[in-house]
Structure 1
Amino acid sequence: MSWIARRMLPVLLLGAALAASAAGDSRPTAPDIDAQTQALARANAAVVGVRTVAVEDARSIDTLGRERQGSGVVIDADGLVVTIGYLILEADHVDLVLERDRVVPARVVAYDLASGFGLLQALAPLRLPPAGLGNPAALSTDEPLMIASGGADGDLSIARMVSRRAFSGYWEYHIDGALFTTPPRTDHSGAALFNAHGELMGIGSLVVLDALGPGHPRMAGNMFVPTDLLKRILPDLRERGATRTSTRAWLGLNSVELEGDVRVVRITRDSPAEAAGMQPGDKIVKIDGMPVKSLEGFYKRLWRDAPPEREVELVITRGGDERTVKLQAQDRMKTLRRAKGI
């Protein structure tokens, strides 16, 4: 089977399935299916593979590896590609993988710590139609969606959104309005989430086990960063390479929230937390005198309107003993390694 046939057959099947799902009890007409299929085919054509190699001394190698691969989506006619930021974090070399393994080099335009988005600029013409940015706020849980990954092994599947809510990541990350879908995809990194009209709704970030949210039965799924966040910050990303909210305090703590407790699970090497002697298992009780009851509350207090490079005081419990720890927070963006000559 040719490459074109391999890529188009799933689109045809998905177009029919999504049209039928959207029609509900009514039988979809041939024009409905044709319009749906064309919109999804255009959207699918905008999805590319992303391959990166991090600089040799990148801190992020410990958790992400040096060689990374995922997907991205072309969003303008000049070859601007949006992807998930951790794929291009501290990147030394970036390639975009197109049809038939055609490879186009790219440069990093932006890495946004606050939202999690990354932007790439193709260094040669892609000759691909850009995907339009949709309105994730208008999504409903019964609306059929399409997940597409790029590159030589790109794939398509039907998904549905099961929740939209705030998300706090263990790596000092928080966004409002994250999209959670099911069933889960393992090739989620930078994957595209499209609605039935081929509009880009989100960029894939990770696999989760609680797609329905706290207080609900466990269900595996994916978290997508919504593109309504991207619409608001795209001018800043193009101009500055990051948003102003990415200039924030960083401690180097990987933490999780368990029944209202925030506990440390990992310490980043060469970080303020390591220098201060923080350890996995520490329970964070207070930050700068304020009680800590959730990851979201902990992060928002850490990132409050104050200089990022400052002293942060934590009250922790370790082995049943309470102690005070003072950390010299850093500006995370200043700690990132860059390719030589940049």
Structure 2
Amino acid sequence: MEQERAKSPRQQDYGYDLDRVYASLVGIRTGIADDAFTADILGTERSGNGVVIRDDGLVLTIGYLVTEAEQVWITDNFGRAVAGHVLGYDQETGFGLVQALGHLDLPALPLGDSDILEEGDPVILAGVGGAKGAIAAEVMTIREFAGYWEYLLDKAIFTAPAHPNWGGCGLIGPDGSLLGIGSLMVQQTTDQGAIDGNMVVPINLLKPILEQLTTFGRVEKPPRPWLGLFGTEIQDQVVVAALSENGPADEADIQVGDIVVAVDDARVKSLAEFFRHVWALGEAGVTVPLSLARDGEILSANVRSISRDTLLKSPALH
């Protein structure tokens, strides 16, 4: 199928002021230390977008842009830049918060209700750059999403066509409010074939945790167990695709190519099932019993989980 070309939104198609919305979109640029845990995977220089959500310069973005960041710069549509500080990061949702350390003087975009979205709804995906940074899009589906990095959303929003600079861009709803934050480019299957689109984290996941993120920098609850096992789904099986070096799964002698058959005797056929069974065992530190298929044999491994937060560099101040 020929990929649909992204089109710029036209003001006459919307009942709100597009320029007013675009003014709330900013660029995010970060610098990360070479020895940071995520440096090899995500790089030491990252860039994307963010959305001003409070008049004092609080910016919402996607967490992988700001994880372990030592330097943060926020840029508006006119190229003006101010320094920022990583205020909070939540691994479960993937949201990151940046506080401007200077005056942005930009309007805040109100948070909408992402639960109102339905398949086929027209939306805008917008990043820094004004009209040039925005595309008209459509909600393709709303469904579960499991990410290989031990990440799970019950109701992720999938849109198309794809935004070329999707990381941290804002999903703008029919009333001009913020309904989500762009996370990934994904290929989606339709009746006409495969098309490129984006996965968006719904804004309603932010509302219950926003106060804690701004106050403590994290959500105050026990962290989930983390294994450092990157899985992929192949024909209703969870296959180990990679391991975090010296992570819990690596230390337990799990190997790339192993098939995860069960977690504590509960069989798994998908990444979502795998994650849910692991997390149901308790908080970080719990031992996770795994049954693995390797070379025609079933093996057992007891993985002592940890909190992923213990591996990450924290912001210098809060």
TM over 0.5: yes
Q: What displacement does 1:302 show?
A: 1.2
RMSD: 2.2
Residue 312, structure 1, aligned to residue 288, structure 2: yes
**What amino acid sits opposite 2:240 in the alignment?**
V
Determine helix, strand or coil for the equivalent of 2:285: coil
Of 328, 336, 342, the match for 2:304: 328
Return the alpha-carbon distance in structure 2 between the equivalents of residues 129 and 280 of structure 1.
48
Q: 1:327 to 1:263 in 2, by over 3 A?
A: same
**Deviation for aligned residue 1:259:** 2.4
Letter in 1 for 2:245: R
Q: Deviations over 1:127-153 (max 9, x none)?
A: 000001111111233322111111599
2:107 alignment partner, one of 116, 122, 129: 129
* Matched residue, 1:41: 19
Which of 189, 203, 206 is residue 184 of structure 2 equivalent to?
206
Find 2:234's aligned residue among 243, 253, 258: 258
CA deviation vs aligned residue, 1:289-335 (integer Å, no higher than 9, x gap): 21112111111111125231122111111222221112111011122
> Is contact 2:232–2:239 with CA below 8 Å preserved after alignment?
yes
Q: Which of 115, 127, 135 matches 1:157?
A: 135
Is 1:15 the counterpart of 2:17? The answer is no
Question: What is the rounded CA distance, in whole Å, between the counterparts of 1:304 and 1:315 in structure 2?
Answer: 16
**Aligned with 2:198 (options 204, 215, 222):** 222
Report if aligned partners of 1:161, 1:181 keep a CA contact under 8 Å in 2. yes
Query: After superposition, what is the alpha-carbon deviation per residue over 1:272-303, rounded to whole angstroms, capped at 9, x for unaligned?
Result: 11212222211100112211121111111111
1:87–1:320 distance in 2 versus 1, CA, 3 Å: same
> What percentage of aligned pairs have identical amino acids?
37
Q: Give, as a single letter, the amino acid of the residue that structure 2 aligns with 1:301.
A: H
Structure-1 separation of matches of 2:10 and 2:253 = 53
The letter of the residue matching 2:73 is D
Question: Which of 122, 135, 139 is matched with 2:117 structurally?
Answer: 139
Structure 1 residues 153, 50: CA separation in 2 closer, same or farther (over 3 Å shift)?
Answer: farther
**CA distance in 2: counterparts of 1:305 and 1:272, whole angstroms:** 16
CA contact (8 A) 2:69 2:315 kept: yes
Could you tell me whether the CA contact under 8 Å between 1:253 and 1:267 is conserved in 2? yes
What's the TM-score, normalizing by structure 2? 0.92
Specify the alignment match of 1:98 in structure 2.
76
Q: Kindly state the Cα deviation for residue 246 of structure 1 after the two structures are TM-superposed.
A: 6.8
Shift of 1:245: 5.3
- Contact 1:182–1:211 (CA under 8 A) maintained in structure 2: no
- CA distance in structure 2 between the aligned counterparts of 1:307 and 1:100, rounded to whole angstroms: 46
Structure 2 residues without counterparts, runs of 5 or longer: 1-6
Match for residue 225 of structure 2? 249
Q: How many residues align?
A: 312
Tell me which residue corresponds to 2:276: 300
Residue 81 of structure 1 is aligned with which of 59, 65, 72?
Answer: 59
Counterpart in 2 of 1:4?
none
Q: Report matched runs for 1:57-76 at 5 Å.
A: 57-76=35-54
- Output the amino acid matched with 1:313: P
Q: Normalized against structure 1, the TM-score is what?
A: 0.85
| 2:119/2:142 contact within 8 Å kept | no
Query: Would the aligned equivalents of 2:23 and 2:77 in 1 still touch at CA under 8 Å?
Result: no
In 2: Cα distance, 1:154 partner to 1:65 partner: 26
Query: Residues 51-74 of structure 1, C-alpha deviation per residue, up to 9 Å, x if partnerless?
Result: 011122112112111110000000
Of structures 1 and 2, the larger Rg is shown by 1
Per-residue Cα deviation, 1:177-235 (whole angstroms, up to 9, x for no partner): 110000112311001110232111110000111266xx995332100000011112111
Is 1:110 aligned to residue 110 of structure 2?
A: no
Q: Is the 8 A contact 2:226 2:307 kept in 1?
A: yes
Aligned partner of 1:30 in structure 2 is none
CA distance in 1, matches of 2:211, 2:189: 31
The answer on whether the counterparts of 1:260 and 1:293 sit within 8 Å (CA) in structure 2 is yes
Q: 1:112, 1:118 within 8 Å by CA — same for their partners in 2? A: yes
Stretches of structure 1 that go unaligned for 5 or more consecutive residues are: 1-9, 20-34
Rounded to whole Å, the distance in 2 between the matches of 1:66 and 1:153 is 29
Q: Distance in 2 between matches of 1:51 and 1:153?
A: 20
Give, in whole Å, the separation in 1 of the partners of 2:209 and 2:192: 33
Task: Supply the distance in 2 between the matched residues of 1:94 and 1:253 (Cα, whole angstroms).
Answer: 30
**Distance in structure 2 (CA, Å) of the matches to 1:285 and 1:91:** 37
